[in-house]
Amino acid sequence: MKVTKIIMVLALLGLGANALAEPVVTFEEGTNQFEDASQANEHEYVLNPEEEERYYLEAQQKGDFDILNFKFPQEHWFECEDEVTGNFLNYKCASRRQISSILNDYLQKHVTGCVQEALDSVDGGTIEKLHIVHDGILGDKRHSPRSLHAENRAIDIRIFDVTTTEGVKKKYVYEDKKNRDFFLKFRTCWGHVISENNDCPIYAGTPHRTGSIGWEDKNHQHHMHTSVPYCVNGKYGNYFYQR
């Protein structure tokens, strides 16, 4: 595989429609423009909690700055106590999990609104509390450097657990086909959020494929890949970081 050198230019965007400023990342010539961008996502490998812990630990011990140097600012998702809580499937909530600042911001500010829209379209109720069961955020950069997971900008969602203001608990499992309408509504809303707030074009003219990959892809039958793509001035900023 061709190694693509990446230069980081710390220019700030976001004075206009962008709610968030993020560094402009420029990619030197040499990026293979003919490779199918969707490949980067289809072959993603997202780490489980033990692998994730080892990944950061080993990188720190080895001083492996290449894989620790994220191009986009990072912070923590306090899964047990943030506004939107979460846990990796079959694990307890993590006291903190590394995540890109931009994905965390979108999770905390925009996910609930889109789940609410989806809820309105099926059985109604008002969300008091939202909890996300997921399949991970971090992808191993050494294996899939072009996936948004490599930058902690994507999360693989399995279940939305909703508690309504009336105290009713509802569970929306992504892989359960009876929830397709719910998740289609969610994805459509998310696509518009991504387009309007992150200056991204609607992907392939399809709102529900903007910032997410779902059942239309054979590798996404059990989880919904949900991301904040990298966009600059109304365009996808790189051929690979599109979904």
User: Rule CB under 5 A: which residues touch Zn ion?
Assistant: 154, 156, 225
Question: Residue 98: beta bridge partners?
Answer: 76
Residue nearest to Zn ion (CB): 225
CB of 220: closest distance to Zn ion in angstroms? 8
Which residues are CB-contacts of 76 (< 8 A; sequence separation ≥ 6)?
96, 97, 98, 99, 104
Gap between the Cα atoms of 26 and 199, Å rounded: 17
CB of 206: closest distance to Zn ion in angstroms? 18
Nearer to Zn ion among residue 107 and residue 154 (C-beta): 154
Tokens 């990342």 belong to residue = 25
CB of 48: closest distance to Zn ion in angstroms? 13
Which residues are CB-contacts of 40 (< 8 A; sequence separation ≥ 6)?
144, 146, 147, 240
Q: 193, 231 in Cβ contact below 8 A?
A: no
CB of 190: closest distance to Zn ion in angstroms? 14
Question: Residue 12: beta bridge partners?
Answer: 23
Nearer to Zn ion among residue 119 and residue 224 (C-beta): 224
CB of 192: closest distance to Zn ion in angstroms? 20
Q: Could you say which DSSP state residue 181 is in?
A: H
Nearer to Zn ion among residue 187 and residue 225 (C-beta): 225
Nearer to Zn ion among residue 118 and residue 154 (C-beta): 154
Nearer to Zn ion among residue 38 and residue 197 (C-beta): 38
Of 97, 52, 83, 108, give the one whose Cα is nearest residue 228: 108
